[in-house]
Structure 1
Amino acid sequence: MKIEQIHHVAYRCKDAKQTVEWYRDMLNMDFILAIAEDRVPSTHEPDPYMHLFLDAGNGNVLAFFELPTKPEMGRDPNTPEWVQHIAFKVKDRDTLLEYKAHLESKGVEVLGVTDHSIFHSIYFFDPSGHRIELACPDPQEEAMLARLDAVKWDMLEEWSRTRKAPRHADWLHAKEFQGA
């Protein structure tokens, strides 16, 4: 048994139409389909909803639910805003910078470009308050990923024992990487 890929990832949204238009206009995602019901198929509870599906590229699907009968959506107050996010890959740094300029021209506040060494990112929020990341690979990504792969289990074991950040990959954000 092996998972083939993510079928879709679903989040709640404040407004179905606004969400479809925003992802279309800001991130050039196609609206794939909508499903609306008065009862939840899995639980059979009465709860009208609109379920949207957007094309996130390469068979990846981003979905949203608008739930008009539920209290206003919120965030987990114990989880920092930067933790929970949706990250999408873009082709290269030029594309990342094009998205940054496009989003800012539409009034979206964008953080970054942040250099994570293996990739570079920008961050912003959608109209429902979900944090979005666009990331492009670094030209040395492959060599850096191989170096990270070599220490992943040691890092995990040390973290599990100490709950302190292991130093096996300090080079990642210290700009010390000189190749594998």
Structure 2
Amino acid sequence: MRKLQAQGVHHITLVGADRQTSIDFWEGVLGMPFVFEQPNLDNPGESHLYFDPGDGRLITIFTNEDRTPEPSRTPTDPGCVHHLAINLSQATFRQAVERLDERGITHSGVKDRGFMDSIYFTDPLGFLIELASYRFEPPVGVTHTQVLLLAHQIRVERGDYNIAPIHLADAIEQLVLRTQESLSDDRTPKRAYRG
């Protein structure tokens, strides 16, 4: 028996209300270019809108002009999607509270997640959105998940409760040692200042 090896999320599809509400939110609030539209091939009464979340992958929305936005929170029962996290640069994240406030969008404020910062709010249909921004940049050729995996291992080994900046910094240092060559025989930390 063999796995069906995943190589990333292809797209995520959400059920939307009307077409304009989806465009106004996904492009007009979150800045995702509206790149493609066609009928929902499984339901000709719906349209299928495609947005680029910034990494070249897709978030798609099924829309129907007979559906109106209902802002009550979407279900969080087992099997339901709890929330969707959107990656922001630190520069944009630092502007997020102000930009949500100027639109009158109720939000959680900034939440400290140890390895990232988060802000939560709901879309016009009550679906929970998280704006997330990593507190670190991985070394060249290494992914965020590789840093997080090693930081987790360091955290568990030390008996710490959650990932903190020290675990991230130590993971990054170890990953640089593993992935980047040097002419030095001894790459241990040194005291460069004498006296």
Normalised TM-score (structure 1): 0.70
CA RMSD, 1 decimal: 3.5
Q: 2:114, 2:165 within 8 Å by CA — same for their partners in 1?
A: no
2:174: which partner in 1?
A: none
How far does the alpha carbon of each residue in 1:92-135 deviate from its partner, in whole angstroms, 9 at most, with x for none? 1x321212211210111111200001000111111111111111
Give me the whole-angstrom Cα distance separating, in 1, the residues matched to 2:39 and 2:137: 45
The unaligned stretches of length 5 or more in structure 1 are 41-45, 155-167
Distance change (3 Å), C-alpha of 1:36 and 1:171: closer
Does residue 1:3 correspond to 2:6, yes or no? yes
Does residue 1:170 correspond to 2:127, yes or no? no
Q: CA deviation at 1:148?
A: 0.7
Q: CA deviation at 1:150?
A: 5.4
* Partner SS for 1:63: strand
Normalised TM-score (structure 2): 0.65
2:178: which partner in 1?
A: none
Q: 2:119, 2:130 within 8 Å by CA — same for their partners in 1?
A: yes
Q: 2:13, 2:60 within 8 Å by CA — same for their partners in 1?
A: yes
1:43: which partner in 2?
A: none
Higher strand fraction (1 or 2): 1
Q: CA deviation at 1:13?
A: 0.9
2:193: which partner in 1?
A: none
Q: Give the letter for the 1:148 counterpart.
A: H
Give 1:105-120 correspondences, 5 Å limit.
105-120=102-117
1:75: which partner in 2?
A: 74
Give me the whole-angstrom Cα distance separating, in 2, the residues matched to 1:149 and 1:64: 38
* % identical aligned pairs: 21
Distance change (3 Å), C-alpha of 1:135 and 1:3: same
Q: Give the letter for the 2:131 counterpart.
A: L
2:151: which partner in 1?
A: 147
Distance change (3 Å), C-alpha of 1:171 and 1:75: closer
Give me the whole-angstrom Cα distance separating, in 1, the residues matched to 2:55 and 2:109: 25
Q: 1:118, 1:145 within 8 Å by CA — same for their partners in 2?
A: no
Which of 59, 83, 86 pairs up with 1:85? Answer: 83
Q: 2:35, 2:52 within 8 Å by CA — same for their partners in 1?
A: yes
Q: 1:26, 1:102 within 8 Å by CA — same for their partners in 2?
A: no
Q: Give the letter for the 2:85 counterpart.
A: A
* Partner SS for 2:110: strand
Give me the whole-angstrom Cα distance separating, in 1, the residues matched to 2:160 and 2:45: 48
How far does the alpha carbon of each residue in 1:134-157 deviate from its partner, in whole angstroms, 9 at most, with x for none? 1111148876652214578x9xxx
1:33: which partner in 2?
A: 36
How far does the alpha carbon of each residue in 1:44-81 deviate from its partner, in whole angstroms, 9 at most, with x for none? xx6511111111011121111124678x98833635x9
Distance change (3 Å), C-alpha of 1:77 and 1:126: closer
Q: Give the letter for the 2:82 counterpart.
A: Q
Q: Give the letter for the 1:76 counterpart.
A: P
Q: 2:19, 2:65 within 8 Å by CA — same for their partners in 1?
A: no
* Partner SS for 1:146: helix
